[in-house]
Every structure is written in C-alpha cells, then in structure tokens.
Structure 1
Amino acid sequence: MLTWCMGPNTRAWREREPDLLGLLLAFAAIYFVWGSTFLAIRFAVETLPPLLMMGTRHLVAGLLLFTWQRARGRWRPEPRLWFAALFSGAFCFLGCHGLIAWAEVRVSSGLTALLSATLPVWMVLLARIRGQQSELTPKVLSGIALGFVGVAVLMPLGFMGRGWEEVSAIAILVAEIFWAVGAIHARGIKTTTPPSTFAAMQMLCGGALLWAVGLGFGEASRLHAEAFTMRSVLSLAFLILFGSLLTFTAYTWLLQTSSPALVSTHSYVNPLVAVFLGWALASERVTFGTLAGAGIILASVWLLSLRTRRVAGRADEATEACGAVARRGV
C-alpha cells in the first residue's frame, strides 16, 4: 500500500525524458513491492501489536523522509498544512492502515488485498456526495455495481457468521472508506509544498495517532522483545524501507515522468501479486471464488478508471488522474 494519503493538488510534470531502466525499476517497485506489503503486514502482526507496529512503521519512515528533506534544504512546510496532515493521518493512517493491520491478524493477506481493491468504488461515491463528481454514467454505475458483486463473491455465506473473521473483513471495507475520505480531502488542498514534504507530515501525524490509540487499547502489554519473531521484525523493516520509502520515491518519480493513466495500472497488479504471494509463501487458500471475485473487482476498477483517464487528459494533473483509481498500497 502507498504509505501516505493523496498529496496536495500540485502540477507533477517535468520536461525531461526518463530512461527505460529507471522506468522499469520504478514500475517494478509499485507493482510488486506494493503487492507484497499485504503479506508483510500479516507476518508482522503475528507477534507485533498491530496498531503499534503500524505506528512505528510510519513514524520511522516519516522521520527518515524528514531527515532527507532537511538535508536537501527542502523542509519548508506551510504551517496550515499540519492540520491537513493531521486530518489525513487520522483517516488514511489510523483509520485505514490501523484497521487493515488489525484485520490481518485474522484475515488472509490475499483477501485483504482484494477487498482493499474496492477503493475506487468508495472514491467515486464519496466524490459524488461532495459534488466533485460529474454525472454517474452507465460505465461508472456498472463499475460500482461490479465492485459490490465482487465483494459478495469474496464473502460467501460459508464465510459469514464466523465471528471475528466476518468483523475483520467488514473492517477492511470500512478502512477503504476512511482512506477515500482522507484522499478526497487532501486532493482539494492548494499548495506549493513538495509532495515529499506533505507525505512526511502525514506519516508523522498518522504514526503518532496510531501509537496513541494503540497505547489506549493496551497494546503496550504485548511489547515483550522475547516474544517477537525474526520474521515479524524483518517484515516491519521491509515495510519501512521498501513498502514506504522505496515505493514513495518510485511513485512520485513516475508521476513526474510517466503517464498518470499508466501509473494507475498498479491498481490491477497489486491484488494479483498479493494473492499469489499469500498462496506461495503463507499457504493461503485460493479457490475458484477467490479468482472470480478478483476478476470482478478488477473489472470494476478498469471501468471506473476509464472516466478518470478522460478527466486526466483535460485537467493535466497527475494527482487528479490517480485520485480516483490508484491504490496507494498498504
């Protein structure tokens, strides 16, 4: 998952020709590293408290990004942006990432990724409610309907009624609604602050909120170093260095050098990578229903992305292009 909420509404194009190797490596990062973060979270929460784990991830990543910005002399955030960063941190990090980490204690990483892929549905619906969306065309309505059908396929009657597993699956859908609220709010911010600065601000605010809530729920009682496995600790390190910082660098660079519509294609690849890795490395079950639900949800994302690409062509803004369809990774 991308580890920051959508950035402010800034121009992202640069007049330069990117090299092919750089493009391939950057796309590999947002395709495969983001897809692997769902499994990394599952491994991390095996022995680490979910909220404190996510809080640590974002605080450390935010501090590293802050240090990098300061060293380059680019840390000059507008004071008014701290409220926006706190709002985004509450919805995108505490609300979304916190719920996903909590849910993955009980739900497979593959199912988490597929349910998370419904984000475009919530983005379109909430944007419409706020008056930021044009008319609901047949394609948009079809995309929304397919998204809900895909969820219904992934949560069959045999799964329903299994107590906390059912609650956890629903929590993942609620997490996507939280992210959509934070992303739509951030999209309307006008500022010249670099996206990397705003991302660091969101990480710091979100990490602090996750720690505060985690401590409030008593997760500190589970902080016993002898109970932590190497797999959980290495997974947390992977989430910080690769799931946050590497993909952040790759994603922002691609928005500056590549087509926003092309960058948004990671929305189709990430869930498939997550399902495959969960099956290959964690023995997660992949049934016909899983594949059918995945196909239906990806078709929903594709239909919803068609309108977004037309908007991008008119607006010429990378953030506008990716706002409704790009899954930010976890």
Structure 2
Amino acid sequence: MSLPRKTILIILAFFAIYVIWGSTYLLNKIAVSHLPPFFLAAVRFLVAGAIIFLIAKSLKVSLKISKKQLLNASIAGFLFLTLGNGLAVLALKYIDSGFAALEISAQPLVVLIMMRLLYNKRIALMSYIGVILGFVGIFLLVSQKQIISQEGQVLGMVLIFACMLSWAYASIFVGKADLPKNSFVNTGYQMITGGLMLGVISLFLNEPWSLPHDWQNDVQWAMLGLILFGSIVAFTAFNFLLKEVSPEKVATSTYVNPIIALILGWWILNEQITTQSVVAAIVLLTGVYFINTKRKFKPRRI
C-alpha cells in the first residue's frame, strides 16, 4: 500500500529541516570565520531567492502575488532571515556551532510560551513538564564556567536567544498569515525581501563586501551548501510544513539539528563537547519531547 503524495512530501520536508539544517551551523561557522555576518547572510538569501524565481519561471509558475501577500512575505522574511538568521550568524562569531544548535533546541519551548501569551492556547500537563525540563537544560548549558568565561560567549548566547524569539514569533505568524499558496514562490519572496534588508544592514554597518573569487575554497563550498541546500531545499520545506502541520511539530526539527551540529562541529572543527553539554542536550531534548507529545497522564485506578 503506497503512501499518499502529500504524506511523502511531508516526510521528505521533515528530513530536509532535520538533517540539512543541522549541517548549516557548521557551514555558517566556516563562512563567518572569513566573511562579515550580515554580508554573508545577504548574499546567501539574495542568490537563493533569485535561483528560486528562475526555477519557478522555468516551470511556468506564476510569481504574481497580492500586496497583502507581499507585505506578509516581507514581514516573514524580516523575522526569519534578517533578524533570525542574521543574529544567529553574528552569534557564531563568538560561540561554537554545536553550542548554538543546543541553545536553539529550546525553540519549541519559546513557541509554546508565545502561543500561550499571544493566543491563550492551553498548555497540557505534559508540556508543563517539558517547559520545566527545558529551563533546566538551558541553565545547565549556559552556566558552564569554561564557556561563559570565554570572551564574547555571553553576547553570543544573548544573540541566539533573540534569534529564537524572532523565529518563534515568525513560525506562529506564517501559520496564520495570507501568503502565496505555492511554497516555492513564498520562499523566494521571503528570501529576496529578507536578503535585501540584510544587505541594507550590512551597508549601514559598513561591512566590507567581496566577490566569491576572493574567498577561500572552504568558504566557497560552505556558501554553495548554504544556498542550495540550507536555503532553497530546507527553507522551502520549512514553509511547506508550516502550512501543513502545526508550528509545534515543525519546531521538533530541534530534536535532530543539535545532534547533527554537535557531531559535525566536533568532527570537522574540533569543537569541544563537555559532559555538562551532553547532559544539557539530553534534558533539553527530553523537554522538547514532552512539549510535543500527544500523550496525556491518566490516573491509575486503585
């Protein structure tokens, strides 16, 4: 018995946001070691957005959208990419890629609390347990003396937290906003508008701009991976999922992302994995599981 086409697309989309996005922490860390953060992000999303539009035109997909949809796509692009991704890339100048991924793994907790505050969504008992575990995991992660004593680490943590707030609100916003029905077109507009705003910030900050032939080989490959896979494939899958499943389910990508990021950061960049970070990861991801599980406590009959 074959699966329905939409089910297959949802499974593939989850694979993209789970595994591909887990590797983008490494790629961003490599690229930001040589390129200014907002310039890096601007190039990534402007090129990816342009490629998406070219593909859409070649497939004869209409790029026409309403003014309201353009405004909503611009807001989403600003929240997801200009603020969310821009701040995350900036943070990677100060903290390890695996550490950043672990901190961001608490995003489902932020989404849950935001939905409670903004839309008065009831929090289930299991989710309350997840929230408590999430806070404990975050405390274990950021309280490590060998980490917070390093220069710029606290700033990096604060930037990641701001990134989480922006992404969490954007996830909720996109789930309810009037956006282009075609996920590919929707992604393209978000990337172009978000990339333009990143470019403006880069110019305002007077970041040095350069051409790809001036970059080192590892930076060129990292940027290629960020554009083709991290942006076009994974972000399109992300927007598709936000329209098909709940924001809390989409946020479960944080189960796998930090594990992929930790392994790649340790293997390729020789980043340190402390015992406390491992414990924090287990507690955090257990909390995320409780936040997203549909199970309910049932009282035992005695």
Normalising TM by the smaller chain, what interval?
A: 0.7 to 0.9
How far, CA to CA, are the matches of 1:89 and 1:27 in structure 2? Answer: 21
How far, CA to CA, are the matches of 1:23 and 1:174 in structure 2? Answer: 29
Go from structure 1 to structure 2 and tell me whether the alpha carbon gap of 1:224 and 1:64 turns closer, same or farther (over 3 Å shift).
Answer: closer
State the match for 2:125 in structure 1: 138
For residues 105-135 of structure 1, the C-alpha deviation after alignment (integer angstroms, 9 at most, x for no partner) is: 121000011111111111111111112512x
Give 1:227 shift. Answer: 6.0
Aligned match of 1:284 in 271, 276, 295? 271
How far, CA to CA, are the matches of 1:27 and 1:191 in structure 2? Answer: 21
State the match for 2:174 in structure 1: 186
**What TM-score do the two structures reach when normalised by structure 1?**
0.79
Contact 1:33–1:242 (CA under 8 A) maintained in structure 2: yes
For residues 26-62 of structure 1, the C-alpha deviation after alignment (integer angstroms, 9 at most, x for no partner) is: 6654432211110000001011111110111111111
Go from structure 1 to structure 2 and tell me whether the alpha carbon gap of 1:165 and 1:232 turns closer, same or farther (over 3 Å shift).
Answer: same
Go from structure 1 to structure 2 and tell me whether the alpha carbon gap of 1:193 and 1:215 turns closer, same or farther (over 3 Å shift).
Answer: same
For residues 136-169 of structure 1, the C-alpha deviation after alignment (integer angstroms, 9 at most, x for no partner) is: 2322222112111111111125133544211111
Aligned match of 2:186 in 193, 198, 208? 198
How far, CA to CA, are the matches of 1:301 and 1:185 in structure 2? Answer: 21
Give 1:76 shift. Answer: 2.4
State the match for 1:148 in structure 2: 135
State the match for 2:114 in structure 1: 126
How far, CA to CA, are the matches of 2:251 and 2:114 in structure 1? Answer: 19
Give 1:256 shift. Answer: 9.5
Give 1:228 shift. Answer: 2.6
Aligned match of 1:218 in 184, 201, 206? 206
Contact 1:255–1:263 (CA under 8 A) maintained in structure 2: yes
State the identity %: 27
Letter aligned with residue 142 of structure 2:
M
Give 1:294 shift. Answer: 0.8
Letter aligned with residue 73 of structure 2:
A
State the match for 1:272 in structure 2: 259
Contact 2:41–2:86 (CA under 8 A) maintained in structure 1: yes
Go from structure 1 to structure 2 and tell me whether the alpha carbon gap of 1:189 and 1:236 turns closer, same or farther (over 3 Å shift).
Answer: same
After superposition, residues 1-40 of structure 1 pair within 5 angstroms as 16-17=4-5, 28-40=15-27
State the match for 1:321 in structure 2: none
State the match for 1:41 in structure 2: 28
Go from structure 1 to structure 2 and tell me whether the alpha carbon gap of 1:69 and 1:295 turns closer, same or farther (over 3 Å shift).
Answer: same
How far, CA to CA, are the matches of 2:85 and 2:93 in structure 1? Answer: 13
Q: How many residues align?
A: 292
State the match for 1:246 in structure 2: 233
After superposition, residues 286-301 of structure 1 pair within 5 angstroms as 286-301=273-288
Go from structure 1 to structure 2 and tell me whether the alpha carbon gap of 1:260 and 1:106 turns closer, same or farther (over 3 Å shift).
Answer: closer
Letter aligned with residue 65 of structure 2:
P
Contact 1:77–1:197 (CA under 8 A) maintained in structure 2: no
Letter aligned with residue 106 of structure 2:
T
Structure with the higher helix share, 1 or 2? 2
Letter aligned with residue 118 of structure 1:
A
SS at match of 2:101: helix
State yes or no: 1:176 paired with 2:160: no
Unpaired segments of 5 or more residues in structure 1? Answer: 1-14, 311-330
State the match for 1:116 in structure 2: 104
SS at match of 1:76: coil
Go from structure 1 to structure 2 and tell me whether the alpha carbon gap of 1:90 and 1:143 turns closer, same or farther (over 3 Å shift).
Answer: same
Go from structure 1 to structure 2 and tell me whether the alpha carbon gap of 1:116 and 1:206 turns closer, same or farther (over 3 Å shift).
Answer: same
State yes or no: 1:68 paired with 2:55: yes
Letter aligned with residue 127 of structure 1:
M
The CA RMSD measured in Å over matched residues stands at 3.0
Aligned match of 2:290 in 300, 303, 311? 303
Contact 1:76–1:193 (CA under 8 A) maintained in structure 2: no
